[in-house]
Structure 1
């Protein structure tokens, strides 16, 4: 999957099916006055979970960093690029993530519907999203960790790991 970049606001991570309710700046999936985009912009943590329609989506808060979803044999990750010398280096580094990274925030829990996972700009409604092929997951509750992976002056990433709990 390619790196996804926002136009300045937070990115949203969810199953493709859950994203179908997202309205971005055009309205509210909860039928409230506050738009989905405004609710996403209110998140200041690295990641937090909000409702879109009746389903969970995760807001990649803090700074708007380019991000991508990838997986290894048993784990699914969201990598958020703080800095790196090149995209080739970023891809190489992420292929060899160590098992133990530096935890930097409390875990979050999210119910994911089964199927493809996506990341998109929170300002967009679902109909405006370009969707590339991505990893798929089974439906369930996932614990999301937030960890740092860096080598001074070479690269720094925020890594969210998804672990199925039920």
Structure 2
């Protein structure tokens, strides 16, 4: 399983086609650091090609993606990767979620360290995922078990699927 980390700041989730516009530590990183909630939105690019990024903020936690749950998992604590993933698998259906921002997905999206300029991004330091086109809301929860496992989970849910749940 592939895990990525940041140098100490937030992650950003950006459409693959927009990555080259992200300036990272040369400019856009500062506004990503100003997000003071678990997830938030920042706009970047020039006035002609204004784009949107989702910021996953908090501690610089090791992060992976679980395609079966359409969720980014940030490792809070656990003795092993397998135990952490098993715990997340079992807890996701029982989780009470905190709503977050929405993003339109047109193609692949990529999660990476907000400090990295998009033109310098290398694939080993990012998580690229493919979702069906549509509008997705990010919802977040901390999940824990009594067996010393804890994770922050950011799940991508199609807005049309959330509408059916209510």
**TM-score, structure 1 normalization:** 0.81
> CA-atom RMSD, angstroms?
2.1
Q: Which residue of 1 aligns with 2:123?
A: 131
Q: Which residue of 1 aligns with 2:163?
A: none
Matched, 1:64 2:60: yes
Moved over 4 A (4+): none
Residue ranges of structure 2 left out of the alignment (5+ in a row): 161-166
Instruction: Name the SS of the counterpart of 2:21 in structure 1.
Output: coil
Q: Which residue of 1 aligns with 2:11?
A: 11
Alpha carbons 1:55, 1:111 under 8 Å: kept:
no
Alpha carbons 2:40, 2:100 under 8 Å: kept:
no
Q: Distance in 2 between matches of 1:69 and 1:52?
A: 24
Query: For each residue in 1:75-104, what CA deviation from the matched residue of structure 2 results, as whole angstroms up to 9, or x when unmatched?
Result: 41111111111223233334445313132x
Larger fraction in helix: 2
Residue ranges of structure 1 left out of the alignment (5+ in a row): 27-34
Q: 1:155 aligns with which of 143, 149, 159?
A: 149
Q: How many residue pairs align between the two structures?
A: 154
Q: 2:75 aligns with which of 66, 69, 81?
A: 81
* Alpha-carbon distance change, 106 to 155 in structure 1, aligned in 2, over 3 angstroms: same
